[in-house]
Structure 1
Amino acid sequence: MNNNKKPLHKQDLNFVFEKKNYIVMGIGLAVIALGFILMAGGGSDDPNVFNPEIYNWRRIRLAPALVLFGFAIEVYAILLNPRK
């Protein structure tokens, strides 16, 4: 059997995305994580006691909007052409 394998050089590696794409993806992931962190909490320690803090503006409006905005950033990062 003949294994004609060339050693890998930096020029031989082809990535799907470039550095700019990965940076924008990281920003998008950070925005999504922030949205989920803001959504957390507001529960009650006692299941028989209702805590109206669960319907806070931050948990109902801001956090889901941040998550959707983060997903929009991810789509933009995938479609971004850094060569332009």
Structure 2
Amino acid sequence: MGEKKRKEASKAEFIFGKKNYKWLFIGLAFIAVGFIIMAGGGSDDPNVFDPSIFHWRRIRLAPTLVLIGFGIQVYAILLNPDKEKKSDK
């Protein structure tokens, strides 16, 4: 009996469920795409001004994607994994 309890105690259990991790990776993808879009737009020559730095993708779209990604991350963290287990049974 003692050996069985040890096996149950040593069984690794994750804090999050599959659904949580799926949403975490979706949020990370949104954040990564937002930062990739935000990058660039500079000039190789510091004496030359490049107006593409003020393009709507860098000013509006990229920060919006990053904020949406952070919102998805918060949702993924607060998602109850126990609900998922009950609905699967």
The TM-score bracket by the shorter chain reads 0.7 to 0.9
Give TM-score scaled by structure 1 length. Answer: 0.85
Shift of 1:15: 1.1
Equivalents in 2 of 1:17, 1:53: separation in Å?
42
Runs of at least 4 residues off by over 3 Å:
6-9
Q: Which structure is higher in helix share?
A: 2
- Determine what percentage of the aligned residue pairs are the same residue: 66
CA RMSD, Structure 1 to Structure 2 (Å): 2.0
TM-score, normalised on structure 2? 0.80
Count of equivalent residues: 79
Give the gaps of 5 or more residues in structure 2.
84-89
Structure 1, unmatched stretches of 5+, are none
Aligned to 1:76: 75
User: Counterpart of 1:51?
Assistant: 50
